Amino acid sequence: MADLDQVLFTFASYNAGANRVAQLRKEAATRGLNPNVWFDNVEYVAADRIGAETVTYVSNIYKYYIAYQLILDAQAAREKAKGGITGDGKR
């Protein structure tokens, strides 16, 4: 299981319960979906069996993660760009 999916399943387990998520993963496997991948796999079973709450919860956390990661990447790029310029504006 990928590190990202481990984290996503942790959030899903926090919201819906570890036993419930284990059941959802088993059902995903019987449906021919990958039980080790949340998005587009176990997520579908969760939406079908327990509704949108857990799916929305995990998706929202993931969206915030992506947004924060983009902010950090932009800050790092800005700092890198600043590092190549001297105080007098010359490189």
Each domain of the chain, given as residue ranges in start order, spans: 3-61
Read off the amino acid at residue 40.
D
Distance CA 9, CA 35 (A): 10
Model confidence, pTM:
0.80
Residue 86 pLDDT exceeds 80: no
Helix axes 3-16, 52-83, angle to 10 degrees: 140
Q: What pLDDT score does 91 carry?
A: 54
First to last CA, the chain: 46
Q: List pLDDT tens digits, range 21-56.
A: 999 999 999 999 999 999 999 999 999 999 999 999
Q: What pLDDT score does 84 carry?
A: 62
Q: Mean pLDDT for the chain? A: 92
The neighbour count for residue 28, using CB atoms within 10 Å, is 21
Q: What pLDDT score does 83 carry?
A: 79
Q: Please give the DSSP secondary-structure letter assigned to residue 10.
A: H
Mean pLDDT of 60-67: 96
Mean pLDDT of 76-88: 75
Please say whether the beta carbons of 54 and 14 come within 8 A: no
